[in-house]
Amino acid sequence: MTGQRVLTAALLGPLAIAAVLWLPTPILAALLAIVFLLGLWEWTRLVGLTHVLPRLGVLTAGAAIMAVLTWSARPGGLFPFQLTLLIGAGWWLLAALWLRRFEFMRQATASARGIKLLAGLLATVPAWCALVLLHADGEFGPRWALLALSLIWAADTGAYFAGIRYGTSRLAPRISPGKTWAGLWGGVGASLLVAVLAAPLLGLGLAQLPALLLLSAIAVGFSVVGDLYESLLKRHAGCKDSGGLIPGHGGVLDRIDSLLAALPAFALGKAWLGL
């Protein structure tokens, strides 16, 4: 299984990097919409929707929101995108509180299903907005978008190796027994290293490095919430993976869960810190 995971990552990683760096924003936005909507499709299964038509209805709602936001993103018309980022980041702060209440909305009731479906839209659409906004932000936009992705990839890798080597204290044993505090700090350290290496490529000097490091740490913190929240959904649903589309990696949602929470926080933090 590990070999399959490595092979899949080796094939998909360069493609993702090339797409972010060299595709025009409109084309990349369309491809990203497909990816995030696939994640939303898997989300609908996790929350208990079994029939195709209701699941397609949720998917259509997500696609319609993305289309409206795209239409509104004319020159001087980016406020709907920015507002969506605020809503998304606010949702993930609430999700962090939800993680403290494992039993909340665990039962397969209509109200629980409805709230979790709304959560799916609040997770996927703002993350898509964030990545599109980052990519479209001037000459260095594609590099900023790639940095946002790379920080979370590095955090996942650092958390894995630090957790194996030093992990004894569990971060959230009931939700995800494999995650440890050592893994968390290892992930933060790896992401900060990536940020230091990336700073010159973004045209940033030493004076701006502390702000970039703070932004990176915030993004990783949010990514942990996204990862744990998807684990919570899977625990509630009794599933190991969100799907089986990516060999060795589970479903699309399993690969983007951290990004869903990190991207809105990263985009908002970048604007707030003036980077």
The number of folded domains in the chain is 1
Alpha-carbon span 126 to 263, nearest angstrom? 8
Q: Residue 75: pLDDT above 60?
A: no
Question: What letter would DSSP give residue 1?
Answer: -
**pTM of the shown model:** 0.92
% the chain with pLDDT above 70: 91
**116: nearest Cα among 137, 91, 149:** 91
Question: What letter would DSSP give residue 206?
Answer: G
Q: Residue 258: pLDDT above 70?
A: yes
- For residues 12 and 253, the model is more confident at 253
pLDDT at 1 (0 to 100): 43
Alpha-carbon span 183 to 168, nearest angstrom? 10
pLDDT at 166 (0 to 100): 83
Range of the domain at 63: 2-272
pLDDT tens string 119-172? 999 999 999 999 999 999 888 999 999 999 999 999 999 988 888 888 778 888
Residue tagged 């898509």 (tokens): 128
Phi/psi for 180 (5° steps) reads -125, 165
pLDDT tens string 203-213? 999 999 999 99
